[in-house]
Structure 1
């Protein structure tokens, strides 16, 4: 049973119709040529695996800021949050997590708090690992107001292959740290803008697990 659970993960409902489409195409391919059919089987399995939605156990740390995505830390730099969120033009530490087509793409809340703002902006579809993806690509940003009154920003960014950002939440919703809030289809990126006073704990190149890896500590608010 433990061996089965290692390889077979639950699939998010968003993936059902895609797996069904891949499976239907696979049946047609078998009618054309067995080799193509088996290729279709491999792609169908990959599609299922892409939409996997394993359970995650957030650490019991109220000061933890969690990775919102599975993947690799591709960039860490000071940056101003997206203008459509209406925040002050003050640079914050931005941590970018790049998701390949082999990563789990369910996104999870970095911290507990209330969603005070959601803002979608259409855009281009550059490779999500590039720096300009944060400013030029299609994106969906949200502000999470933490218990101490500070705001944390996280932004879903579409990539070269990703063409659909999905959000499960609305403004005013209350989120727990590690709770699912959305997904992006087929390769993309998540940016987290750390609140002032947060202590960064990761470096570029590190592997992240959504809802479990601690990327920073909230720290104390900076006195104005």
Structure 2
């Protein structure tokens, strides 16, 4: 334990970055299989075009995609660059957590949080879907991480989870009653509950502020690219909540 505590942040960042590449490979696979209702853990990886099993030497994160030039070794079908991008993103989150968190234990917790949020955000960005099988563990891991610091912290995290869910559920309910249509997805309140479980009630306003800023930046980018922006455009709000949760967890609530 003393050895782990004494690890240099750069070493921790390197270890979590390398682990992130491996975890990212699983996340990329899960982000494809889960929305299709396929098993995530069981079954070999296969080409989505010809169903040929992927050889073990072609499962090396990032490198395999580069050496195959983004194509299946059997049928030559294109392999989406989303796979190496998610692997690199997971590695980047691991490095970020290792450098920013005060100590290896919190760095590991931050990396686990980041990897969970990455999978949730990747699916929401592509499918406008969030799954309870990912959101519920986010809440539980946040509460467990809080409990590791004491039951008083766990109680505050539970309060944050409760307030997070109630806040967005209430907003969604009122919006639907006033406008006659849904404005938030069913998963958004559960995701904010997960945010509260990780950052506590005091961090929720900052999460929402970062989420709003992230959403506005997307709108601004679309306007700069001269793309039409309408009031009824669908936006993956889960992605923005994930960004806010990550930033608040690592860097604290704004102003505190």
Structure 1 and Structure 2 fold alike (TM over 0.5): no
TM norm structure 2: 0.29
Greater strand content = 1
Greater helix content = 2
Higher relative contact order (CA 8 A, sep 6+): 1
TM norm structure 1: 0.33
Q: Which of the two has higher C-alpha Rg?
A: 2
